[in-house]
Amino acid sequence: MREMSVNKFRSKLREAVEGVLRDHEPLRVTRRGGEGFVVLGAEDWERERETLYVLQNRSLMRQIARSAETHEAETGYRPNSEELDEIDRL
């Protein structure tokens, strides 16, 4: 994660924000005497929120684990050629 002081952030606000949005990399802004803060693009924030939701949802995590196990063991569902053709048309 890139980092800059609050004074530099203030003087280079436009460039800093453009970099965050362009590179999809959060920016940590530090303050001399206290806590800092993070600048993050809206799309990136939504992606992070979705990830946190999945990671905190035990049912979804169990489903993902079972899916990974069946994939590794090659015992999972295999679509037939008609189903694959339908998927390809999407």
Angle at 33 between CA 11 and CA 45, to 5 degrees: 60
Which pLDDT belongs to residue 34? 81
CB-based contact 26:1 (threshold 8 Å): yes
Assigned domain for 7 exists: yes
The confidence score (pLDDT) of residue 76 equals 86
Q: Tell me which residue has tokens 């939701």.
A: 53
- Count of domains observed in the chain: 1
Which CATH number is 16's domain given?
3.40.1620.10
| C-alpha torsion sign, points 67, 70, 73, 76 | negative
Return the pLDDT at 53: 96
> What amino acid is encoded at 5 in this protein?
S
| 32 is a domain residue | yes
Show pLDDT as tens, one digit a residue, over the chain (90 residues).
Answer: 999 999 999 999 999 999 999 999 999 999 998 899 999 999 999 999 999 999 999 999 999 999 999 999 999 888 899 999 998 987
What per-residue confidence (pLDDT) applies to 78?
87
In a domain, 10, yes or no: yes
Structure tokens at 25: 């990399």
Position 19 in a domain: yes
Let me know if 4 is exposed, middle or buried by CB neighbors in 10 A (0-12, 13-18, 19+).
middle
Distance, in Å, from the CA atom of 64 to the CA atom of 57, rounded to the nearest integer, reads 11
